[in-house]
Structure 1
Amino acid sequence: MTMQSLNDLFVHTLSDVYSAEVQLTKALPKMAEAATETQLAEGFRQHLEETKGHIERLDQVIQSLDNVEMENVTCVAMEGLIKEGEEIIQEVEEGPVRDAGLIVAAQKVEHYEISSYGSLMALAKNLGYDNVVSILKNTLDEEKATDEKLTMLAEQQVNQHAA
């Protein structure tokens, strides 16, 4: 699809982040299984449930906008980020260093999602889609909270064990 308007860009970005979230639902169980630190594994499982909720919210956004027809796109950025996480699982021996690597990979994902949801919110505001801004903000807030939890876990526990 050729993007010719801000609405086209919004729809493309929405479709892209939808793809990213769906891909993440498949990656998080693998990350949880690969983690040896109990809190990290539980965090990945908890974020899987949140991610399912993010998809439900995106469905709400789509349903609430009359002029939005989703595109069939694959988020190549998320594909790459997930591939990096898979490389850590395959190439780093099980233990604290792998856990630290999993946190690095997860935070890259979170930062991608934070930028995506922030951009979607800005586009929605400019397009007058005020009814979806709060839905997007709820997800953005959860993504930021997950990133903060990962930082605390890394700084207070995992990185110290890996060192």
Structure 2
Amino acid sequence: MKTSESKPKNQIASTESARLEELFVDGLKDIYWAEKHLAKALVKMSKNATSEELKATFDTHTVQTEEQITRLEQVFEKVGKKAQAKKCAAMEGLIAEAEEIIESTDKGTMVRDCGLIMAAQKVEHYEIASYGTLRNLARTLGQTEVADLLQQTLDEEGQTDQLLTGLAETYVNEEASVE
């Protein structure tokens, strides 16, 4: 039998769990920053969209994003942490890309809408990845209520992605191709 000065098994599990919880909370801080900044970016995207349907989609998602921010604050409360934001480099880059699309496309064109849909879907896919991972971590940590809240947001992000795809496939891409 090998003897070592390692920690007892339950202490190792406790340390690993603490590290996982720290990673989870860090992920919450990251997506919290992301959502707060996205809410502002969506307003700008709406103002710069050509199609009324795309503007309405961005407006609806702005309201939904504000609700998601409130839901994240509930998540922080449930895990006993203060709601804090940590700069999210990924969302910062995605928002910058959306702004670049606005600057590099002509106002009032479907080409701009096509670009805005592309930028918005990149954001949705980032959020889907983030919320899916956070939901899974919450489940692993035994935070069932938190996982349910994160699942609700994950479902909303998926619906928004499908809505954007529908707009692109229904008419935006086709109209952009003939401008």
Fold conserved between structures, TM > 0.5:
yes
In 2, are the aligned partners of 1:110 and 1:144 still within 8 Å (CA)?
yes
Give the 5 Å matches for 1:6-155: 6-66=20-80, 68-94=81-107, 95-155=109-169
Gaps of 5+ in 1: none
Structure-1 separation of matches of 2:29 and 2:128: 16
Flag the structure with larger Rg. Answer: 2
- Is the Cα contact below 8 Å between 1:12 and 1:71 reproduced in 2? no
Change (3 A) 1:24 1:86: same
Cα distance, 1:71 vs. partner?
4.9
* Higher relative contact order structure (alpha carbons within 8 Å, sequence separation ≥ 6): 1
Distance in structure 1 (CA, Å) of the matches to 2:155 and 2:91: 19
TM-score when normalising by structure 1: 0.95
How many residues align? The count is 159
| Distance in 1 separating the partners of 2:36 and 2:53 | 23
Provide the secondary structure at the position in 1 that maps to 2:158.
Answer: helix
Where does the alignment leave 5 or more consecutive residues of structure 2 unmatched? 1-17
Counterparts of 2:56 and 2:36, CA distance in 1: 20
Return the alpha-carbon distance in structure 2 between the equivalents of residues 10 and 69 of structure 1: 14
Q: Distance in 2 between matches of 1:28 and 1:146?
A: 13
In structure 1, distance between residues paired with 2:39 and 2:83? 19
Q: Is the 8 A contact 1:11 1:69 kept in 2?
A: no
Q: How far 1:46 sits from its partner (Å)? A: 0.4
Alpha-carbon separation, structure 1, partners of 2:143 and 2:29: 16
Identity of aligned residues (%): 50
Tell me which amino acid in the other structure corresponds to 2:71: R
